[in-house]
Amino acid sequence: MTESASVSLEGIVKRHGAVTVLHGVDLAIAPGEFFALLGPSGSGKTTTLRILAGLEPHDEGRVTMDGIDVTQRGPGDRDVAMVFQSYALYPHMSVYDNIAFPLRMVAMPRAEVDAAVRDAAVRVRIDHLLDRRPGQLSGGQQQRCALARAIVRKPRLFLLDEPLSNLDAKLRMETRVELRKLQRSLGVTTVYVTHDQEEAMTMADRIAVFLDGRIAQVGTPHEIFERPASTPVAAFIGSPPMNLLPGEVHRGRLSVAGTPLELARHPGPDGPVTVGVRPGALVLSDHGIPGQIYLVEDLGETSIVDVQVEGQLVKIRTPHRPGVHESEAVHLSCAGSAVHVFDRNSGLRR
Ligand SMILES: Nc1ncnc2c1ncn2[C@@H]1O[C@H](COP(=O)(O)OP(=O)(O)OP(=O)(O)O)[C@@H](O)[C@H]1O
Ligand SMILES: [Mg+2]
């Protein structure tokens, strides 16, 4: 096993001409951690990863590994291995030679190369495919070949940019389990870029949510799901994401659509708020917020019920098909502990 690194980004600013794509990114990643950068397209994830790798210059801030400033170091001097979305395998080489390539570059003796290649191939379960060319592999096998080529060097930092995005849904789910196990067995610090929140939620020790070139929140998957720091994070996480409705705090009481909501805690100072409730926490009931059924979506195991509340659609997830019909008048209720309250103006959690 290799020694793994701690990594930090401090005040990273990146501009492309007049456009700022990273606005002061700060991150501290612990040795051995599986850390996900999660955010929508264009939010700055790949740029951040490339800056970590030393592949892309930045305008302000510094990058450290184990407390040492590596900002001026090139990718070859950072002891990192990166797997790109397009695996970038050499098509004319065998799988064996592809995996061996980084070791031959550093002139490792032949017998050591052979042992390392076979060990890496076994770990990702492609040891029976070593004589093939990449073109003779399935997408999932190519992906594992790219992983083997990255782990064979025993890097101290492993950077992965949407490595599973070319796989179909079933293979993606299987491979993410394998990848997580592989990372645990190697113990190597891993930064994993994805726009797929399920991937980030299931694999990562911690997640940084990227929105518009800024980190909106850092936390464990549980923290990010249970206590989103702001309405933009709340609106991004969950499938479907949290419902957000205008609400009011008046004399210490919270109400939505004219209906008082019971909270287990004090909702904070009087004024306009945004009230968040996850679809799975809402139930159709005979009391609560009034609305009208708009659509029932049957997803097989669960149903999503769209309810119109004061001109806005609210989504409810139910475990079984609800006995309601379009246009029917209903009420929505939820436990006080499931209600999130955000400041209306700043969007920050109260
Ligand atoms: N060479 C460039 N010139 C100008 N703008 C760029 C350049 N490269 C990237 N950008 C911009 O920087 C922003 C961040 O890009 P980045 O590739 O980091 O996003 P991302 O979060 O990885 O997105 P995706 O999920 O689509 O891969 C985007 O708005 C992109 O258009
Ligand atoms: Mg990207």
For residue range 329-340, list pLDDT tens digits in order.
999 999 999 999
Phi-psi region of 162 (alpha: psi -120 to 50; beta: other; left: phi over 0): left
pLDDT above 90: residue 301:
no
CA 134/CA 238 separation, integer angstroms: 36
Q: How confident is the model at residue 8 (pLDDT cuts 50, 70, 90)?
A: very high
CA 255/CA 302 separation, integer angstroms: 29
Q: What is residue 1's predicted lDDT score, i.e. its pLDDT?
A: 41
Cβ neighbours around 269 below 10 Å, total: 10
Q: How confident is the model at residue 172 (pLDDT cuts 50, 70, 90)?
A: confident
pLDDT above 50: residue 292:
yes
Atom index in ligand 1 nearest the CA of residue 37 equals 21
101: three-class secondary structure by DSSP: helix
Sign of CA dihedral 303, 256, 339, 276: positive
Domain boundaries defined on the chain: 7-231, 240-343
- Prediction pTM value: 0.91
The verdict on the CB of residue 41 being under 6 Å from ligand 1 is yes
Q: If we measure between CA atoms, which residue out of 35, 243, 42 comes closest to residue 159?
A: 35
CATH class of 7-231: alpha beta
Q: pLDDT of 120-159, one tens digit each?
A: 999 888 999 999 999 999 888 888 899 899 889 888 899 9
Task: Find the 124 Cα to ligand 2 centroid distance in Å.
Answer: 24
What is the chain's Cα-based Rg? 24
Region 291-311: mean pLDDT is: 93
Region 318-328: mean pLDDT is: 87
Task: Find the 156 Cα to ligand 1 centroid distance in Å.
Answer: 26
Residues 6+ apart with CB under 8 A from 102: 81, 149, 152, 153
pLDDT above 60: residue 166:
yes
Measured from the alpha carbon of residue 210, the closest ligand is: 1
Pairing of strands 206-211, 189-194: unpaired
> Both ends of the chain: CA-CA distance in Å?
44
Check residues 172 and 192 and name the one with the higher pLDDT. Answer: 192
Q: pLDDT of 192-235, one tens digit each?
A: 999 999 999 999 999 999 999 999 999 999 999 999 999 999 99
Q: What is residue 338's predicted lDDT score, i.e. its pLDDT?
A: 95
Task: Find the 43 Cα to ligand 1 centroid distance in Å.
Answer: 7
CA 199/CA 97 separation, integer angstroms: 30
Residue nearest to atom 9 of ligand 1 (CA): 47
Q: What is residue 58's predicted lDDT score, i.e. its pLDDT?
A: 97
Ligand 1 pocket check: which of 16, 210, 215 to mutate, most ligand atoms within 8 Å of Cβ? 16
CATH number of 240-343: 2.40.50.140
Task: Find the 47 Cα to ligand 1 centroid distance in Å.
Answer: 7
pLDDT above 50: residue 17:
yes
pLDDT above 70: residue 293:
yes
* Least confidently predicted of 11-20, 71-80, 84-93, 243-252: 84-93
Cβ neighbours around 124 below 10 Å, total: 22
Task: Find the 44 Cα to ligand 1 centroid distance in Å.
Answer: 6
Q: What is residue 42's predicted lDDT score, i.e. its pLDDT?
A: 94
The verdict on the CB of residue 287 being under 6 Å from ligand 1 is no
Strand order in the sheet with 253-256: 259-261, 253-256, 243-250, 271-277, 340-343
Please list all protein residues whose beta carbon sits less than 5 angstroms from ligand 2, which is an ion. Answer: 46
